Structure 1
Amino acid sequence: MLTKNKCIVLSKLKYGESDLIVKCFTKERGLVSYILKGVLKSKKSSSKVVYFQPLTQLVVEENFYPKRTLHHFKEVKPYYIYKSLHSNIFKSAIVLFLSEILANTINEEEKNEGLYTFIETALQYLDAEGDYANFHLLFLLKLTRYLGFQPEQETHKSTFFNLQSGIFENTDYGLYSISGHNLYLLKRLLGINFDDLKEVKINSEQRQSFLNMILFYFELHLEGFKKPKSLKVLNDVFH
């Protein structure tokens, strides 16, 4: 039966001479991989390659067969057209970085509407926002909720945060304990919304330090997690 499904593009890979394999996070079925046969060779289809830029939001028509590894589109088109995400060099760097993070962390082949709605809404906010230098920091922090290792929300007056246990405490456990400005920023970001980011003022060195800290937090809690290759590009753009 022909069905419609929303999806967000996580990655694409050239397969053979003219095919693409596109990994998408779908609203109804979680992670799904699609193969687009001949899309790089056919003049009729080549115009649609632009649809598969990182984190593009699409609606697809398909006949879905659960036992298949690679699925096929019947029809595909954008359902939200970005105004700036792929044309603004700073936002493009964020998008490339976050798409790599999401491709590395989302492995569920089942519906997760809460995670889907979070990503969809956050990207649309980024597309429309003019003050976005700290967007990726809050995005990663909020993403931990859906991946199952959200930091403890009760920040109180503790002087350390334990990256390994995910809780605030008053004991320094060396490598796994953070304090100082990273601790302050973590407490500041926990519980706020994207609209509140305008009030968070940090410089590029503080931003890079906090980002490295939260990526280490991901490494501790996600088996096989690796720092994105696009991290250097992101740091260079926002330095």
Structure 2
Amino acid sequence: MPGTTEGIVLKKVSYSSSSAIATIYTRKFGQTPFMVRGIGKKGGKSAALQPLTRVEIVCRFREKNQVQSLTGLTVKPGSGFSGHPVKAATSMFLAEFLYKALRVESADEELYDFLDSALEYFADDENSTNFHLILLIKLTRFFGFHPSGKWSEKSNWFDLLNGLYTTDRNSSLHMLEPRLSWFLYEMSLAGFDQKIGELTNTDRRKLLHALVEYYQIHLEGLGEIKSLPVLIEIFS
């Protein structure tokens, strides 16, 4: 019997001139590869496979299959970021990041609902320059290494290795300076629609590098994020 679920497209690899294997993070099955046919046809499914597109799918899920058979695919309203340069670069980066970070994750409806709600906001947001940073910080709760403690004038360094705010600027070899540590703390408390102080593009680039490093330290196998330089260039 075919089943239905919601999903977020993370990666597409061409399989033939008219088909592709799409890796989709689904609400019911976690991260799953699907064979998608008919993408080369006029009005086909290619547009539905762009990074972070939110979709509804019909499939015959069989645990023994490495690639699942997808029989229906529709795009949810408010998906697709190709017409907006900053959002397109952000979605490319986040899709690659989530593909690698969620690779070993099984179904987690709370995590899926968080991502779905965040991306719905992202689609409507006119000023999306901090979205990726706030999302990465908030996601740490689901992976079990959310920054601990509070930023203060004394505990104003963030130790990336130990995941805490500290008075000791030399507590590890992976430290975030006080100004950026304060922004990190503010973002951990903020909603996606909240403006964060006097954050410059230079600050955003440094914070993004620091957050990727933080995940690489604490999330085994994350590895290099190849789309990171593209997003860095956007904020240059």
- On whether the aligned pair clears a TM of 0.5, the verdict is yes
Tell me which residue corresponds to 1:81: 78
Q: Whole-Å Cα distance in 1 between the matches of residues 149 and 35 of structure 2?
A: 42
Q: Is the 8 A contact 1:32 1:109 kept in 2?
A: no
What's the CA shift for 1:226?
2.4
Deviates more, 1:202-211 or 1:146-155: 146-155
Relative distance call for 1:109 and 1:152 in structure 2 (3 A) is closer
Superposition deviation, residue 40 in structure 1:
4.7
Alignment correspondent of 2:171 = 173
On the 8 A contact 1:27/1:116 being kept in 2, the answer is: yes
CA displacement at 1:174 relative to structure 2: 4.3
Q: Percent identity?
A: 29
Tell me: CA distance 1:20–1:227, structure 2 relative to 1, closer, same or farther (3 Å): same
The answer to whether the aligner puts 1:210 opposite 2:170 as a matched pair is: no
- Structure 1: stretches of 5+ with no match in the other structure: none
Deviation at 1:178, TM superposition (A): 2.1
Q: Name the TM-score, length of structure 2 as normaliser.
A: 0.92
Query: Counterparts of 1:145 and 1:109 in 2: how far apart (Å)?
Result: 14
Which residue does 2:100 correspond to in 1?
104
1:92 shift after superposition = 0.6
Q: Deviations over 1:61-91 (max 9, x none)?
A: 1121111110111111112233x62211111
Which amino acid letter does the alignment assign opposite residue 30 of structure 1? Answer: G
Contact 1:5 1:59 in 2 (8 A): yes
CA spacing shift, 1:202–1:108, aligned 2, 3 Å? same
Cα distance in 1 for partners of 2:101, 2:196 equals 29
State yes or no: 1:92 paired with 2:85: no
Query: Unpaired runs of 5+ in structure 2?
Result: none
Which amino acid is the alignment partner of residue 199 of structure 2?
I
Q: TM-score, normalised by structure 1?
A: 0.91
Match of 1:149 in 2: 145
Cα distance between partner residues in 2 of 1:167 and 1:129: 31
Change (3 A) 1:154 1:48: same
Contact 1:153 1:190 in 2 (8 A): no
**1:16 Cα deviation after fit:** 4.3
Residue of structure 2 in register with 1:4 after alignment: 4
Query: Which amino acid is 2:187 matched to?
Result: L
- 1:183-207 CA deviation, whole Å, 9 max, x = no partner? 12112212111121x2433111111
- In the TM superposition, 1:56-135 aligns within 5 A as 56-82=53-79, 85-108=81-104, 110-135=106-131
Displacement after TM superposition at 1:109 (Å): 5.3
Deviations 1:48-69 (A, max 9, x none): 1111111111111112111111
**Shift in CA distance, 81/132, structure 1 to aligned 2, threshold 3 Å:** closer
Cα displacement string for residues 118-168 of structure 1 (whole angstroms, at most 9, x for unaligned residues):
111111111111121111111111111112211115334413221111112
**Alignment-mate amino acid for residue 116 of structure 1:** Y
Could you tell me which residue of structure 2 aligns to residue 236 of structure 1? Answer: 233
Report the CA distance between 1:233 and its aligned residue.
1.3
- Give the number of the structure whose residues are more often helix, by fraction: 1
Cα deviations by residue, 1:167-225 (Å, 9 ceiling, x for unpaired):
122222242222221112112212111121x2433111111111111111011011122
**How many angstroms apart in 2 are the aligned matches of 1:70 and 1:178?**
41
Q: Quick one: which amino acid aligns to residue 70 of structure 1?
A: V
